Structure 1
């Protein structure tokens, strides 16, 4: 019997579900799961959650408290279904506030511990701004593991590795979106995909230079991008694309291999703030997509806040 592409991918890459949908997690049996404000909002729309959300909203002292309680509530459920990490995001509103990010991360970890989920199971997800990366550096030293997200460029990846982040989530599809908007006639399929090229460069650099930070490709637009990154440490994949990979058969060759990364650029001195900001300024795609990503996550968070406010009033 022909093996599915998904089953072959699981032999060379740790598969992560990019969803808060518990049914999808049960179906595809990923090792880890990631969430973000948009996915939490989607999960919150399910009718079977409304009563619980209304109770949490009614019992919470404010919206920030309610948001964190809901994120941990969903994350705790997910932790019972996967053997590995569950990523839970700090509010996008704190993307440029190092101290508030650190405090919120401690609060989330404490809530998880109260729910019986140990810190070794949780990755605190933080936007890859300068402030976010510095918060991650401090948290890692304190024993709290981090996932640096909204990562679009090599400068961000280097700074995250220098900070000792447990994991980074370089985005693929949103990089492709940016290039397609500007060069709609260019062939960006397969290995020409700029998002694929970016992740491969980061992966090879980390492996060649001994960085322990896990590289987890994210934000895929099609199954071809996933196939082109087979062999990456981790890939976080939506239920739709997990389904496509599960239904398709054929041979899935390994594309990324630590053994073949020896020609990557050598490790450089850690970036200081001025150099980081200048290099981000020079990378229009990474700079624009980071800002846009924060705005999009914040827009979904506001929608969730409105929903919770309505539910809290009804519950009260």
Structure 2
């Protein structure tokens, strides 16, 4: 019997949720996703040291003010890391716009264009890069503009159908609905409840998004993210893409149990509903305390890790 990981690849595109080069080389995912937390973890593990120094030296050569140097170095670093990852995989890498811009559409568009242009200047085809943006209303509108310009986007921190639907209606290439963080919220608010894979609220949320997209023939790719255990992964076998941590990839690789496909497009189609406007989107978010809290929390966490990354670069800059 093939491993669970091998069987899973028959139904879903497997994506590595890591910046660890050894893990990417071991599991050979189609794509890879990064975020400030993943990048910070890789740097603290001693990886990408040469890229850090190169990014800082290039930034120091073009600017004198420390904030400008660090912002420039951060962009250079995340792109150089992305280039290294792309040398190992066949598909795409996601590179995130700083979370501090999550409520500023114009600034998000500008930063996304700059990141995308850096990849192009390094010889990377634009269709191998996804710009990752938090799925706030402002982020979705920024991504709408970027998609029109041919810059593909990955909208992240998605916790309910309203966010996912607004992304699909905006023509976004890919959405990343989270699983484990939804479960975390429900476990914290219902500590006596028991959640297995089939009643896991994160799994049910992704299934809802997947079926809604297929039913209404949206082209947007659904990539489930933020898994807490392999039960959640297996309960979404058949989802377009699954971005999985190295620890869970290893667990899937080591098991040879039989896998049953959980999701499939049944081919039935219905006309899409009228697109959500801003007021409807914000009201549906207001009515969903879990999604509202987890989106805000996720943005804060990513921003905190971005600040930690900047502090690491400042410390290294003083050594050069």
Q: Which whole-Å deviations, capped at 9, do the CAs of 1:188-217 have from their partners, x for residues lacking one?
A: 111100000000000001001100000000
Match of 1:162 among 169, 183, 199: 169
**Is 2:281 the partner of 1:282?**
no
1:89-128 alignment runs, 5 A limit: 89-128=96-135
1:135-191 alpha-carbon deviations (Å, 9 max, x no partner): 000000110000000000110011000000000000000000000001111121111
Unaligned runs of 5+ residues in structure 2 are 64-68
The structural deviation recorded for 1:52 is 3.4
Residues paired across the two proteins, number: 312
Q: Which moved more, 1:298-307 or 1:61-70?
A: 61-70
* Aligned counterparts of 1:226 and 1:47: Cα–Cα separation in 2: 29
Conservation of the 8 A alpha-carbon contact between 2:51 and 2:80: no
Which residue does 2:20 correspond to in 1?
21
Q: What is the CA distance between 1:113 and its match in structure 2?
A: 1.0
Given candidates 248, 252, 275, the residue that maps to 2:255 is 248
1:274-305 deviation per Cα after TM superposition (whole angstroms, max 9, x unaligned):
11111100000000000000000000000000
Which residue of the other structure, out of 308, 313, 317, is the alignment partner of 1:312? 317
Q: CA deviation at 1:54?
A: 2.7
For the residues of structure 2 that align with 1:280 and 1:48, how far apart are their CA atoms?
Answer: 39
From the superposition, tell whether residues 288 and 282 of structure 1 become closer, same or farther in structure 2 (CA, over 3 Å). Answer: same
Task: Encode CA deviations 1:77-109: one digit per residue, 9 max, x unaligned.
Answer: 011111111100000010000001001111011
The structure 1 segments of at least 4 consecutive aligned residues displaced by more than 6 Å after TM superposition are none
Instruction: Give TM-score scaled by structure 2 length.
Output: 0.95
Structure 1 partner of 2:66: none
Q: Does 1:144 align with 2:144?
A: no
Return the TM-score normalized by structure 1: 0.96
Secondary structure of the corresponding residue to residue 47 of structure 1: coil
Partner of 1:301: 306
Describe how 1:149-228 pairs up with structure 2 within 5 A. 149-228=156-235
SS in 2 for 1:149: strand
1:77 aligns with 2:84: yes
Q: Give the alignment of 1:53-68 within 5 angstroms.
A: 53-60=52-59, 61=63, 62-68=69-75
Partner of 1:50: 49
Shift in Å at residue 228 of structure 1? 0.2
Deviation at 1:48, TM superposition (A): 4.7
- Post-superposition shift, 1:45? 1.8
Residue 49 (structure 1) shift? 2.7
TM-superposed deviation, 1:313: 1.1
SS at 1:274's partner residue?
A: helix
SS at match of 2:259: coil
> 1:99-138, CA deviations, whole angstroms, 9 ceiling, x for partnerless residues?
0100111101110011111110001000000000000000
Aligned to 1:259: 266
Give the SS at the match of 2:276.
coil
The residue aligned with 2:31 is 32
Counterpart-to-counterpart distance in 2, 1:282 and 1:225: 26
Separation (CA, whole Å) in 2 of partners of 1:174 and 1:266: 31
Distance of 1:49 and 1:290 partners within structure 2: 29
- Flag structure 1 segments of 5+ consecutive residues without an equivalent: none
SS at match of 2:262: coil
The 3-state SS of whatever aligns with 1:133 is helix
